[in-house]
Amino acid sequence: MAAGPVSASVLTRRRMWVLLGTVGSLLVVALVVLLIVWRGGAGTPGAATAGRPQPSSSPAPQAITPEPAATSAPGVPRPTQCEQLYSPAMVAAFDDLVLNPAWVTEENSGVTRGSDDAELVTLIDAAGEHLTCVWANENGGSGLGLTTELVWVTPEQQSQVQSRLTAAGMNCYEELDGMRCLLEATENGELAGESHFLRDGIWLATRYFNAGPDGYTHDIIANVWRDA
């Protein structure tokens, strides 16, 4: 999810059903290893890790209290479909992965959420209205995939999210008029991580495994805030 120009990623084609697994924990170790296993087993590594910011510490977690669903303030972008988030070049960069294949909406599909942190997922759900955008193999789970949840949050929720991301040991910094937080690790050649972006009452929560073209989050920002 590193910043930079959009480039094509060569993504693994073999199929496997999705089953989420994590090694380590976001809450108790300094280097968090996320293994997002898309049902059936390990996949082949995708994007390179060079130049990606890494977490430097893992402070004690802080509790998050869900609040009522947020409503957009005047002027806050409000896309209604996942297709509105991406440029044609970014869509092409995903190669064999497709956006929201039919199987991801099936019961017990095993599709991942925008974060591996239970409290952040609780806040996503508490916010109510949000978009869930999944890039996955069209025919079923495989060893790679990516999920982004675009969530509208209140100022209080946004502050809670940022505090939680910092407490979970993510590397957070100001970028593109917002706050960007990253967490990434490799284990046995597998690449897994999370990318979060907070700006103007919008939270982009992305979780990925062996997938994610360079410039992915920047591409979303450019499209969501196109008129800013």
Instruction: State the Cα–Cα distance between residues 7 and 1, nearest whole angstrom.
Output: 11
Token pair listed for 170: 């993510």
Closest CA to 185 of 193, 194, 177: 193
> What separation in angstroms does the CA of 138 have from each of 81, 91, 128, 163?
19, 14, 27, 36
How large a percentage of the chain has pLDDT more than 90? 54
pLDDT number for residue 28? 30
Closest CA to 102 of 138, 131, 132, 135: 138
Instruction: State the Cα–Cα distance between residues 32 and 168, nearest whole angstrom.
Output: 9
**Mean of the pLDDT values across residues 90-108?**
91
Please indicate whether residue 28 or residue 64 has the higher confidence score (pLDDT).
64
**Mean of the pLDDT values across residues 192-197?**
96
Residues 208, 45 contacting (CB under 8 angstroms): no
Determine if residue 9 is left, alpha or beta; phi over 0 gives left, psi from -120 to 50 gives alpha, anything else beta.
Answer: beta
Please indicate whether residue 141 or residue 222 has the higher confidence score (pLDDT).
222
Q: Is 105 helix (H, G, I), strand (E, B) or coil?
A: helix
Instruction: State the Cα–Cα distance between residues 42 and 157, nearest whole angstrom.
Output: 35
Q: Is the pTM of this model over 0.85?
A: no
pLDDT number for residue 75? 62
Q: Which of 55-64, 91-100, 101-110, 142-151 has the lowest average pLDDT?
A: 55-64
Q: Which residues of 112-125 are buried (b: 16+ CB within 10 A; e: fewer)?
A: bbbbbbebbbebbe
Structure letter (DSSP) for residue 6 = -
End-to-end CA distance of the chain: 23
pLDDT number for residue 123? 92
Please indicate whether residue 65 or residue 154 has the higher confidence score (pLDDT).
154
pLDDT tens digit sequence for 149-158? 999 999 999 9
Instruction: State the Cα–Cα distance between residues 133 and 111, nearest whole angstrom.
Output: 11
